[in-house]
Amino acid sequence: MTEESRGPRLRSVPEGDNRERLVCPDCAYILYENPKIVVGSVCRWGDRILLCRRAIEPRIGFWTLPAGYLELHESTQGGAVREAFEEAQARIAIEGLLAIYDIPRISQVQLIYRARLTAADIAAGPESREVRLFAWDQIPWEELAFPSVRWALDHWHEGLATGDWTPRGNPP
């Protein structure tokens, strides 16, 4: 048997399960594929919001929040802090959970936090072409990378206006 033929490679419904999974016919190992968790934040400096112009696919050249996949052995807040630093060299303080977005189409759960920059100095990291602080009326709405970026910005603005920071979810 070659190395290439080992491991989970056949799709079947394991005994006691109700979903098709990749199973190894040699050892019966089952590969459970689960949704990816994305963590990020709406970061503010005064009345301005931090956005990053993507230097990677998908949606290269479009603006997004500092966000990315949660790493193993990392808390969700820790992941959001790390992503802000990796993408914008931004040091942030988490203020609370803003929203949880379920996106089954791409098998993602996104946890977006409210945060404030602890210093105004920011710079593009390796995944960003550019980073900027935008006033609300300067946000490049037509150039946002993903629908959830718009949702998070709208939810942040709503919370700012009402003082209600109850975590939000997917819009209807």
pLDDT of residue 110: 98
110 beta partners: 38, 101
Cα–Cα dist 35/138, whole Å: 34
Helix (H/G/I), strand (E/B), else coil: 3: helix
Q: 36-45 and 67-69: which strand pairing? A: antiparallel
pLDDT of residue 74: 98
pLDDT of residue 6: 81
pLDDT digits (tens, 9 = 90+) for 92-128: 999 999 999 999 999 999 999 999 999 999 999 999 9
Where the chain has pLDDT below 50, the residues are: 1
Cα–Cα dist 93/44, whole Å: 10
Cα–Cα dist 40/97, whole Å: 10
pLDDT of residue 5: 67
pLDDT of residue 7: 87
Q: Looking at 49-172, list the stretches that DSSP marks H as alpha helix, in order from N- to C-terminal side.
A: 76-88, 147-162
Using an 8 Å Cβ cutoff, are 145 and 54 in contact?
Answer: yes
The whole-model pTM stands at 0.91
